Amino acid sequence: MIRRRLLMAAAALALAGCAGLPMNMQPPEVSVADLRLLDVGLFEQRFGLRLRVLNPNDAELPIDGLSFAIELNGKPFAKGVSNQTLTVPRLSEAMLDVEAVSSLTGLLRQFGTMAQGQERIDYRIHGTLYTGRLFGGVPFDQKGEVDFADLGVPAGTRRF
């Protein structure tokens, strides 16, 4: 009975290993390169994002989709999916244009935080890059911050 459980656990670990990258490959880095407001509605807002996908490996990385979520100041803000295909060359980077949707609640929460005179916004983008049948999905998680002073926006002139 114990031997059977050990075999089942080993098989599960082997299958889970197939879902990620092959051995000796590092996960790609995904970061936000640009963010634009596309559409504003009463209940939801649509944003266009340009994502930078960095491949630190000595082999090309085929991508056939992704799912992601964005947090601002530790709170859920927007999420999105894409079925776009892209191949990131070895030891290189590529840009991927996607859309994300935010709810009225997420937007109001952020306006409330910024109205308190916050000097910066912390962001996090996390999700899964799908690399086709060969590799499966690869998780990514990137954090950063936007400092209003770095953007040249005087503290007394910010109005949200």
Each residue's pLDDT tens digit, 137-153: 899 999 988 776 665 55
Please give the single-letter amino acid code of residue 78. A
pTM (two decimals): 0.73
Pick from 117, 107, 103, 105: which is nearest to 148 by CA? 117
Distance between CA 146 and CA 104 in Å, rounded? 22
Mean pLDDT within 25-50: 92
Mean pLDDT score across all residues of the chain: 80
Find the CATH number of the domain harbouring 82: 2.60.40.1820
Mean pLDDT within 6-22: 46
Distance between CA 150 and CA 122 in Å, rounded? 14
Instruction: Show the domain range for 18.
Output: 2-157
Q: 86-88 and 61-63: which strand pairing? A: antiparallel
pLDDT tier at 104, thresholds 50, 70, 90: confident
The total of structural domains in the chain comes to 1
Pick from 114, 136, 112, 52: which is nearest to 86 by CA? 52
Mark residue 73 as left, alpha or beta (left: phi above 0; alpha: psi -120 to 50; beta: remaining): left
